[in-house]
Chains A and B, each alone.
Chain A
Amino acid sequence: MASNSSEKDHGNYVPTPVGAGVGVRDGESLKEVFVVGEDHIPECFVAGKDSSLDITVIVLPGCKAGIPLKFELTGEGASVRLSGIFLCKDDDGVSFDITMHHRAPRCKSNQVFNGIAAGRSQCSFSGRIIVAPGASLTEAYQENHNILLGDLARVGTKPRLEIYNDDVKCSHGATVGKLSEEEQFYMRSRGIPEEETKVLQMISFVAPVLSGCDDPVLAGRVEAAIREMA
């Protein structure tokens, strides 16, 4: 059997080249909301020194899409807020493939993805956070929450942390569940009809993401889509 050689790199960190994409220059900031199927979404963002990005991705019903998104934090002190909503019903299918690559020190990233799957829809979320060996004082957080509404709906989530530096604060959380019956009972006992309780629950479920989007027309479309799903 082969023996390990001492020079062998057990680091496993593969220093892939920085992807080409939308560059956000040093000190600049970018805030964008993308609706999948309507807007062109760049596959890669490169964040420069002390830059700040605020990206929101919204998936409305009637969508079949794979959404690859890559963030390269190459400048020191860059910060990224990435959030998303996906509302899927019938035969919709959506799969997110997100990579948050921390390459420089003192960068921050925060991700929140909330999704609702009804009908026979299939949703998958794969989110990678990579912290390169030199990227100390990194703070990287990721959350993915899902609600299943139909017996035939399917949800899969793969949050991943790959950390090659000890001076970091990283976490991820993922949940899959249903609408709480206790909350519904609380509202119904106060005179709110059952259908409306579900709409309220779902709106509050996506609210943390929607709060970052200033477009009232889009917010109205999200609400309309939720009412249709309830």
Chain B
Amino acid sequence: MDANEEDKIIQDITRQEYKEGFVTDVRQEFIPKGLDEDIVRMISALKEEPGWLLEFRLDAFRKWQKMKMPQWGHLDMPKIDFQDIIYYAAPKKNEDRPKEIDPKLEETFEKLGIPVREREALAGVVAVDAVFDSVSVATTFRAALAEKGIIFCSFSEAVKEHPDLVRKYLATVVPSGDNFFAALNSAVFSDGSFCYIPKGVKCPMDLSSYFRINAKGTGQFERTLIVADEGSSVSYMEGCTAPMRDENQLHAAVVEIVVEKDADVRYSTVQNWYPGDAQGRGGILNLVTKRGICKGAGSHLSWTQVETGSAITWKYPSTILKGDNSSSEFYSVAVTNNFQQADTGTKMIHTGKNTRSRIVSKGISAGRSQNSYRGLVMMGSGADGARNHSQCDSLLIGSACGAHTFPDIRSNNPTAIVEHEATTSKISEEQLFYCNQRGLSPEDAVGLIVNGYAHEVLSRLPMEFAVEATKLLQVSLEGSVG
């Protein structure tokens, strides 16, 4: 590929449009801008929460007030004015028809291709919890799941209907004062999903939650809590989009996963928040805390993420491997383009004996973006015979982008083995030449190579998601990916 052609392809990339960028005009209710104890109380009151949850929120809020925004990320973060955000926005319910979903809202989800209603059962056997701005609007397949004793509902419903379970597990993996954004989330979280799989139950379908930020000037703070009891298994998927706006919008979520003895959880994310325009204006600030604990012996937790959106991504899905013989994996593809910045990776904290973890991270940077992998592998003194293998590859497309790798390996146990390898390179001329020679256009060739490069991760995604993710990868790198 000569220099001109390369330039043309890079220009094409920057001209792409964000197809989820529409705004839905539904009647919404807001609370006033800003954040203080009264706002926290107001959110709690609006959601008719019990006293213990209000206390939890206030405690988190007080912790948050004493904290400073973390600066260690390899990110150029715009200043966030936390008093200029609306912390709660909900589609207004029509009192006469409380069971129905606003047709406009349904249209939105229709556009996004999300099966909100049961009739979509034919389209794919997936149970969906859709969160629109701050509240969960619909959860499908409740009845089918309830038969097996599985609880899958919005977080607010869970607080009302299963308070003991929520109280038992809430903030056990991510304490309210864990970090700046987790504390903020704990104080103002509006809704999210709750999922409980009872002992020995294999969830018969993939569970999925879908998040969308719609209203202007709002932030989204959802909370997901997944509990897999002894011997159970579940596959959970999460997707997200937002409209195009010139300003940055904040998304600070918390995901907690508890995996008991011999249970198996697969958590997949396809993150496609609005990334900002080609000049770097606007976009979602995606500042998320995700953590799971392999609590019991032989438990297993697998993270798979495809990150294509957001102006800034700050996200480290982590696993604490506490149970003996437990295992965890982290598979990630992060694509950045234009002015996007991503600082993402994982933490594997081994404390149990013979625990295993594997990290595969693939970064692709194009345009003028910055893409960093940041990871921690920690072998505690009790982690006898533990093992980790990490592989982080970065691919650079265009000369103005950056790719960075910041692993941190700490071993306190002489019987533990940690291996880490990382490479950074561009698409090799030989590979391109090979494809061109066989009649593929340069664009198709780049597409083929990028897809092959990410294949190891994409193949880990559940079927429906894999299709979406492959498409997203193509949209994100449109022009260079055929």
Chain A contacts with B in 122-140, Cβ cutoff 8 A: 133, 136
Closest to A142 in B: B422
Count the A residues whose beta carbon is within 8 Å of the partner chain — how many?
45
**Is there contact, CB below 8 Å, between A166 and B249?**
no
Closest to A148 in B: B414
**Is there contact, CB below 8 Å, between B406 and A178?**
no
Q: Contacting chain A: which of B203-211, B273-281, B296-304?
A: B273-281
**Is there contact, CB below 8 Å, between B370 and A12?**
yes
Q: Contacting chain B: which of A36-44, A149-157, A184-192?
A: A149-157
Q: Contacting chain B: which of A3-11, A18-26, A81-89, A218-226?
A: A3-11
Report B100 CB to chain A, min CB distance, Å. Answer: 34
**Is there contact, CB below 8 Å, between A174 and B420?**
yes
List the A side residues contacting B311 at CB < 8 Å.
Answer: 4
Closest to B219 in A: A1
Q: Does B459 contact A (CB under 8 A)?
A: no
Closest to A170 in B: B424
Among B85, B394, B422, the most chain A Cβ lie within 10 Å of the Cβ of: B422
Of the four ranges (under 10, 10 to 19, 20 to 34, 35 or more), the interface on chain B belongs to 35 or more
**Is there contact, CB below 8 Å, between A173 and B78?**
no
Q: Contacting chain A: which of B17-25, B128-136, B396-404?
A: B396-404
**Is there contact, CB below 8 Å, between B416 and A176?**
yes
**Is there contact, CB below 8 Å, between A168 and B402?**
no
**Is there contact, CB below 8 Å, between A158 and B409?**
yes
**Bound-state Cα–Cα, A35 to B42, Å:** 66
Closest to A131 in B: B424
Closest to B378 in A: A156
Report B395 CB to chain A, min CB distance, Å. Answer: 9
List the B side residues contacting A159 at CB < 8 Å.
Answer: 405, 407, 420, 422
**Is there contact, CB below 8 Å, between B412 and A4?**
no
**Bound-state Cα–Cα, A160 to B409, Å:** 11
Closest to B425 in A: A169
**Is there contact, CB below 8 Å, between A163 and B76?**
no
**Bound-state Cα–Cα, A149 to B413, Å:** 9
Q: Which of A10, A11, A12, A175 contacts B420 (CB 8 A)?
A: A175
Q: Does A167 contact B (CB under 8 A)?
A: yes
Q: Does A165 contact B (CB under 8 A)?
A: yes
**Is there contact, CB below 8 Å, between B404 and A163?**
yes
List the A side residues contacting B424 at CB < 8 Å.
Answer: 161, 163, 168-171
**Is there contact, CB below 8 Å, between B405 and A161?**
yes
Binding site for A on B (CB under 8 A): 74-76, 78-81, 84-85, 217, 246-250, 276, 279-283, 311, 339, 341, 368-370, 379, 381, 394, 396-426
14 A–B contacts, CB within 8 A, in A order: A3-B281, A11-B370, A133-B399, A148-B414, A150-B414, A154-B411, A155-B410, A157-B408, A161-B405, A169-B424, A171-B423, A173-B419, A173-B422, A174-B419
Closest 5 CB pairs of A and B: A166-B396, A148-B414, A176-B411, A161-B405, A6-B279
